[in-house]
Amino acid sequence: MDRSRLSDKGGAIGMDKARELIQHPFTLLVCRWILGIVFIYASVYKIEMPLQFAKSIYNYQLIPDFAINAMAIFLPWIELFAGIGLIAGFFTPGSIRIIGGLLLIFMAAIIITLLRGIDIESRACVAGFIFSGRQI
């Protein structure tokens, strides 16, 4: 008996089951809800405390000063509505694109800030809780 054929076949079956689980409608629904809840939860703090969020945006030193306040006011609402869209199932493809875009922009901002050597306090402030307070 050729053992390599058995392990390949078993691996293929395992991959098929994993793919089936990942693509199952219930799994996708739960993932949508979790991502939606995270974005809603994150937006609430920013909506309630726009000054602190504006200070966080300012610390990245990436956008002009005149745009910071507008960004601190509108960005959390975009996060909130995109999160609601994911949970409720309204405009799901658009909500996914918006959240994906926001995540890409945030990652790019972090990378650019690190490459520029700017020291900022990285704080994931979500509804008043600070998950990390270390210096970047």
Q: Would you write out the chain's pLDDT as a tens digit for each of its 136 residues? A: 444 444 455 566 778 887 877 778 888 899 999 999 999 999 999 999 999 999 999 999 999 999 999 999 999 999 999 999 999 988 999 999 999 999 999 999 999 998 998 877 654 444 344 444 443 3
Enumerate residues 6+ apart whose C-beta is below 8 A from 42.
76, 79, 126, 127
| Cα–Cα distance, 86 to 125 (Å, whole number) | 22
d(CA 79, CA 38): 10
Q: What is the pTM of this model?
A: 0.72
Q: Residue 46 contacts by C-beta under 8 Å, 6 or more apart in sequence?
A: 53, 72, 75, 76, 79, 125
Tokens at 2, concatenated: 């050729």
